[in-house]
Amino acid sequence: MHFLSYAATVMRSIVVDAARSALAQRRGGDAEHVTLGTDVAEAAPAPEHEILDVHAALEEIAKLDARLVRVVEMRYFGGMKDDDIAQALGLTDRTVRRDWEKARLLLSKALRG
């Protein structure tokens, strides 16, 4: 279980690094720049921006409660179930579910705000 917990943290790092790389290439890579004539395309956030926004929100939440971030990493990035997370962190399933709900609310607030 501890390996899966660590793997979830590494997966988050990989996803964030890939998003940063994609944004860097988009700003000045070898790709040809094409101007779109629609406002719709500009209004939709790029997936890379969303990933970096979630990463920043998780960094802020970690200052309040690092365990909430661990639960998010294991569940979202690691694909672990509540009982696996509980076992890895030495918690009850109920505590993991409460932490998940609290983390979701904090993430929602951070991403809207």
pLDDT digits (tens, 9 = 90+) for 51-102: 899 999 999 999 999 999 999 999 998 999 999 999 999 999 999 999 999 9
Domains of the chain: 2-29+46-112 (1.10.10)
Name the region of 50 (left: φ>0; alpha: ψ -120 to 50; beta: rest).
alpha
Q: Measured between alpha carbons, how far is 46 from 89 in angstroms, rounded to an integer?
A: 34
Helix boundaries (H) for the chain: 2-28, 39-43, 47-64, 66-72, 82-89, 93-112
pLDDT digits (tens, 9 = 90+) for 15-33: 888 888 888 876 555 555 5
